Structure 1
Amino acid sequence: MPTQVSESPDLPRLPSACSIVFTRMKNTLSLCLLVRNESANVGKAIESFEGYVDEVVVVDTGSDDDTREVALSHGARVLEFPWRDDFAAVRNFLFSHARCDWIFHLDADETLLPGSREEIRNLVGRPEVQGAYVLRQDLFSADDPSQFTEMLQLRLFRSEELPQQVGRCHPHFEPPLEDVARTSGRQVVLSNVRLRHTGYVAELKPTKLERSARLLELELQDRPGQFYYQVELAMTLLQLGSDRATAALHQACVSLRPHLAAPTAPSHQAALLFEILLQIQDHNLPGGWSKDQVRELSARWFPNSAPLAWHRASYEFREGRFESARATLEHLKAMADNESYDKTTSFHPSILGPELHLNLGVCYARLGKLNEAIACFERLRNTQFADFAEQNLAAIRDLQRQFESEA
């Protein structure tokens, strides 16, 4: 059992963690972090909340660097919890040791962005709020902080009557916090609080993918038939290039099949499954599925999914359906312009930038709409696609001159 508690030198020593009974402080905020070998990040994470939280609680699952010492030097209360292949278990332990009225859950490779602190304080003072979603900026390049997408994450919530989390990997509250809020006459709200996440690319390293696959398989052994984890396992095994990916993908499709006639998706996780199905080779599709079926379902169930729109357009273009691809890319462009795309999933920001205009320009050129193609290519002059755009612009203008001379 986890019993060891480490304290910042300027705080009084606490008794063993298993014997603590806390008196919660009202409208105060605990910053809670789960860490392992995060000495390079944890200090910056805590510093981003400096002066706006009432305590910092860090649970370490077995660091062999100086993560604990860095956390202690930033005023954290550090507890140890032996890792046992269960993120839900360690999160529940972490949250149970928050002394304050509210909890903000932060990953060590995240920081709070300026302008968010006052909104957090406003949220914890609102009696009708049970919890809040924040916007996490997932950076895709350490060299270019402008390249990110924003994803909604539930990170701020009341500590009292907090349900347990379940799931060895990608844990979630059960029952959902929204259900708890309704019972209490409160609500879970969307906020403008923003985090910056720098670890997205690192999370795709083979060692982390292998750990995720192991945890997902254990989770499905514990609680078979969970569609969410079936899809996550299929995606993870595909990223690893595992020969087990086909069977995992088939199982996810079997679970979804009874719901195909429904007007709305039975689970948002179906969007990720459709992304997979639109990208794999036709001969790898599970029996009874077709790309056109996936294309139609994805457009009906998830019209505001940016990655699905991108993959639909790619499929339509490969099939020579240039008008359909153009319409899909125009829809994606409109979502990018007014930021109306679904922010519950992350994706590479390039599909909303120059690559979007490049492919849209090619569609217009294929359709013979040369003025529209020129407008798309001219937007690429100061991008990495400038040379390609210039070649296409020159070719289009040659065609225009040829048409004019023939006229």
Structure 2
Amino acid sequence: MTRISLCLIAKNEAANLRRLFDSARGAADEIVLVDTGSADGTVALAQTLGAIVHRFEWRDDFAAAKNAAIARASGEWALMLDADMEVAAGGAEKIRRAAESGSAGSYYLNIHSPRADGVTTEIISQPWLFKRAPGVEFIGRVHEDILPSLIARKMPPQMTDIVVMHFGYMTDAAMAARGERDMRILESQADPNDTLSQYYLARAYVRVGRKMEALKKLVWVITSPSAERRMKANAHTMLINLSPGLESREATLRRVEDATRAFPGDRMIWSAAANVYVQLDRVELAVPAMERALGLPRQSAAEGAVLDRSDEHLRLQLAECLTYLGRLPEALNHFHRVLDDGLRTPDVYCSFGLAHSLMGNHAEAEMAFDTALGIDPSHADAHRQLGFLCAETNRPAQALTHFNIAVAAGHNDPDLLQAIRYVKAQTQTSQNGHA
């Protein structure tokens, strides 16, 4: 049987190791962990869980640390993962079948990294399942890459449907910390004429808030003849997301036009374009952009990372835009599809209820708002919307109850405060009339 070594580097990853190890048990015959200076019990826990642990003095070089892990493995194959990853269900068996099939010397894994916004996922295919062989090694101190050595050894990777979840970008704080780390390393060694390193430096600048510097580097990458097509598409996506806060309205619209013209078949560019149109109050342009995105396939990531939004999140945004434009039957159709696809959060039910309310479907609207409160009894917007509905249907006492909860939760927009004054005045007038 083919022997596979799970290889990883780690520092202070005790909270994540068990999840990774458990998910990879069916694939790995041994686990080799190179520790770069943990102080949280990572080493002891890894050893308890059966890993072989080696110490490595950290020197701002991810490739060197990963190569040390590969060198200490005994398996014919290496499975390189990060400590904050998890092999998706069924993936361990697929990893073993791929290694034992003999059809290739390396394979791509599809790394899915959910972002802090809860909507976007970064997807990249990494050739991290490979035969151990002389010269097969990572290069690059940050955003390290093993593909050049696999190509040089005539071991080009094959695509697979193996999914690995990566949880390292789930919070804004984690994104910023990684950005600071990458920026420090890249600024010390990045070649100013290398499009890949400058692209990654732009990404790091975005994460730490140095947005104008990021914008300038992205423009350079886009205009560079040596940049790969996927990299240029990603640079366009980041650029049009950055532009509204940094450039004029006209310049931003030109950025969107340039991106969609250069990549008319790129799903994420159209999705980003739709977001920008919404920010610029051009909702009538956002709707066809979202429809275009929904009609395009999700990209393969073999050339580099792609940013992806699921159909249900795109469709939700489309439904909300259609509601804004008063195209309510279309909006409700899309809301039903979103709910059928399983996206059932309080925010979704609030938007769904608002569309029904604007249609005059009061019973359906109230049911939607009640469902939102059933999921989260303190959901402020559900109380706000239900208050408006109760006021409209002549239930002032209930309206005030919901309004007060919304205000206590921080909602104090002018429309809400005016509605409260109106309902109170109506209640007082009614009481005076009865007196």
**TM-score category, normalised to shorter length:** 0.7 to 0.9
The letter for the 1-side match of 2:198 is Q
Q: Percent identity?
A: 26
Contact 2:33 2:53 in 1 (8 A): yes
1:248-287 paired onto structure 2 within 5 Å? 248-259=214-225, 266-281=228-243, 284-285=246-247
Distance 1:213 1:276, change over 3 A: same
Q: Aligned pair 1:94/2:57, yes or no?
A: no
1:164-243 paired onto structure 2 within 5 Å? 164-173=137-146, 175=148, 177=150, 179-180=151-152, 184=154, 187-202=156-171, 204-220=174-190, 223-242=191-210
Alpha-carbon distance between aligned partners in 1 of 2:349 and 2:15, rounded to the nearest angstrom? 38
Alpha-carbon distance between aligned partners in 1 of 2:22 and 2:334, rounded to the nearest angstrom? 43
Structure 1 runs not aligned, ≥5 long: 1-25, 399-407
Distance 1:375 1:269, change over 3 A: same
Q: Which residue of 2 aligns with 1:298?
A: 259
Instruction: Tell me the TM-score normalised to structure 2 length.
Output: 0.70
Q: Report the structure number with the largest CA radius of gyration.
A: 2
1:282-361 paired onto structure 2 within 5 Å? 284-285=246-247, 290-303=251-264, 305-319=266-280, 322=283, 324-335=285-296, 340-343=298-301, 345=305, 347=307, 349=309, 352-354=311-313, 356-361=314-319
Structure 2 runs not aligned, ≥5 long: 362-435
1:246 Cα deviation after fit: 2.4
The letter for the 2-side match of 1:327 is P
Contact 1:377 1:390 in 2 (8 A): no
Q: Which residue of 2 aligns with 1:6?
A: none
The one-character-per-residue Cα deviations of 1:5-64 (angstroms, maximum 9, x if unpaired) are xxxxxxxxxxxxxxxxxxxxx832111010111122223322322253232211111111
Alpha-carbon distance between aligned partners in 2 of 1:147 and 1:294, rounded to the nearest angstrom? 21
Instruction: Tell me the TM-score normalised to structure 1 length.
Output: 0.74
1:227 Cα deviation after fit: 1.7
How large is the Cα RMSD of the aligned pairs? 3.4
Contact 1:377 1:392 in 2 (8 A): no
Contact 2:290 2:318 in 1 (8 A): yes
1:83 Cα deviation after fit: 0.5
1:104 Cα deviation after fit: 0.2
Aligned length: 352
The one-character-per-residue Cα deviations of 1:308-329 (angstroms, maximum 9, x if unpaired) are 2221112334556555422221
The letter for the 2-side match of 1:374 is L
Secondary structure of 1:353's counterpart equals helix
* 2:354 aligns with one of 391, 394, 400: 391
Q: Which has the higher contact order (CA 8 A, sep 6+)?
A: 1
Distance 1:167 1:285, change over 3 A: farther
Secondary structure of 1:190's counterpart equals coil
Secondary structure of 1:191's counterpart equals coil
Q: Which residue of 2 aligns with 1:28?
A: 3
1:102 Cα deviation after fit: 0.9
* 1:120 aligns with one of 95, 103, 111: 95
Q: Which residue of 1 aligns with 2:370?
A: none
- Which of the two has greater strand per residue? 1
- Which of the two has greater helix per residue? 2
Q: Which residue of 1 aligns with 2:52?
A: 77
Secondary structure of 2:228's counterpart equals coil
